[in-house]
Amino acid sequence: MDIAKLECEDTPEGVKFRVKARAGASNNGLGGLHDGALRVRVTTAPEKGKANKSIIGVLAKALAISKSSIEIVAGETDSRKTLLIKGLKSTALRDKLKSQIS
């Protein structure tokens, strides 16, 4: 998989990128790319923000960063979300994801 196809935007705060969430999956993890967005699978049901918290947890663990540095900036109730990782640049995000996605 070509991680360079992940659509990212560097901002003064950090890097913004899109996520395609799959709530209610059989396991938690990263699932490659879908239409320029990072696929994230979580076992949590999409109710009352529980899946969003799980998505942030999966990403924080995979990227070895704190949960508090990840924010959902658009699409809280949609499976397509835009996330901001504070203090990180797109090149660093792609480097961290390379080892996590096959």
Per-residue pLDDT, 9:
96
Report which residue type is found at 7. E
Q: Which residues, 6+ apart, have CB-to-CB distance to 19 below 8 Å? A: 37, 38, 39, 40, 55, 59, 80, 81, 82, 83
Q: How high is the mean pLDDT of the chain?
A: 92
Residues 47-71: tens digit of each pLDDT: 888 999 999 999 999 999 999 999 9
| pTM higher than 0.85 | yes
CATH number at residue 37: 3.30.1200.10
CA distances from 99 to 35, 53, 64 (A): 20, 23, 12
* Sign, Cα dihedral of 98, 88, 35, 72: positive
- Domain limits for position 30: 3-98
Per-residue pLDDT, 3:
84
Per-residue pLDDT, 14:
97
Per-residue pLDDT, 1:
60
Q: What is the total count of domains within the chain?
A: 1
Instruction: State how far the Cα of 35 lies from the Cα of 31, in Å rounded to an integer.
Output: 12
